[in-house]
A = this chain, B = another copy of it.
Amino acid sequence: MLKTAPCGRKKVQEPAPTGESLDSWETILTVFLREKSLRLTDQRRKIASIALSHDSHFEIQELVREVRKSHPEISPATVYRNVKTLCEAGLLQETLESRSGVTLYERTESEHHDHIVCLDCGLIFEFHNAAIEKAQTKAIRAMGFFETRHQHVIYAKCDLIKK
């Protein structure tokens, strides 16, 4: 249902060179858990592994189904609880809303990107544009704010140019 695929062309922004950041999520998670006196259970590790294997956005329900498939003994409640934990650990973050109004999550990447939702093919693209970011930082500063993060979703059509 929700995919990020090249709608007839290449994704504008390639994935991070190595595919994995230098600190593996396992390290980050372990450190976070230790700091908070939380524990690394089997379920937590499995859920994290599956959640963080997504290259793009996913909804919790999707994750719940995947987890159930390979680990039927893990309950949905645990998935919900752990997604929350992973967000707190900074490994996941909420992202743009799907058109059905469901919250989507994605792996936190070191590189920021904006999104284009194609209204023709329904797919979601990621891109990064320095000019936009720059204009934005400048505008925000001028208004007296300090930006922490942003979500920029553009709804567009890819098909028009082919017709």
Contact = CB atoms under 8 A, between A and B. Distances in A.
A97 interface: yes
Taken together, the copies of this chain in the complex come to 2
A34 interface: no
B131 A135 contact: yes
Contact of A140 (B101, B139, B148, B154): B154
Interface string A124-163: 0101010110111011100111111111111111101100
A96 B155 contact: no
A147 to B, nearest CB: 5
B156 A153 contact: no
Contacts of A158: 144-145
Contact of A148 (B94, B136, B157): B157
A158 B147 CA distance: 9
Given A119-B148, A146-B156, A146-B157, 9 more contacts: A97-B103, A129-B139, A132-B136, A140-B156, A147-B155, A150-B152, A150-B155, A151-B153, A152-B152
